[in-house]
Chains A and B, each alone.
Chain A
């Protein structure tokens, strides 16, 4: 039996189109849940509860992450915020926010001038293809943010065991 070959480009295209469907397929093995998934938050909705009217600029925050994640359960990411990290001017918090996950606030990092560099890395769980936003709070009360789309492909052979 010959399976049809799929080029990487076509695969990406299909994965993009099937984004929402993909989320549904991923949910299949985990039946007893009430995730409000499939709902995609806007960037504004993601950051407003945290910034609450303070000055926000989309700059100085860079994501280093795969464009195409092998598996949604473990996506290695790094967030770099441009900042001198002096007592007068430093990053106090970095929020990692998800557009689609049931829990929007994936992690909050607390930093200070003692860090010397506003850069953190971790491994995320992403419930499907989505935008991720890194929001940095500065010592002067302002915010900076950066966003990135990460495509999450799903295992074709869903065995859930």
Chain B
């Protein structure tokens, strides 16, 4: 099975102390369990149960979605920038399949020009 694709977006220029918006897009069907496939067979429920974002050592965001969240979910949240660290996004779905995305998010010192 191919790993799900995901992407993260963050403002281009972030200074320490800024409160910035983080955008996350994750490829996942978020199957509700109520619909049939093209051959008429019921597609069992399979949604992302839990998604966490850890920035450096700190967990900065967690969401527990359900079938009420659209397929290929988008999540946006805010975080106070501290210093350049790696953002680690991890998620697990009903089947226990995990996905992850890692990206270095740079933060410039507060006094930057």
Contact = CB atoms under 8 A, between A and B. Distances in A.
Main secondary structure of the interface of B (DSSP, over half): strand
Contacts of B66: 103, 105-107
A122 interface: yes
Contact of B68 (A106, A120, A121): A106
Interface in B13-67: 19, 30, 32-36, 38, 42, 58, 60-67
Contacts of A125: 30, 32, 67-70
A123 B34 contact: no
Contacts of B74: 76, 121-123
A122 B76 CA distance: 6
B71 interface: yes
12 contacts: A32-B36, A32-B42, A33-B42, A74-B71, A78-B76, A103-B68, A108-B64, A115-B78, A116-B78, A117-B19, A119-B76, A121-B77
Interface residues of B, number: 30
B70 A110 contact: no
Given A112-B60, A115-B60, A122-B76, 18 more contacts: A30-B35, A35-B34, A78-B76, A103-B66, A106-B65, A109-B61, A115-B61, A116-B79, A116-B80, A117-B19, A121-B76, A122-B70, A122-B73, A122-B75, A123-B69, A125-B32, A125-B68, A125-B70
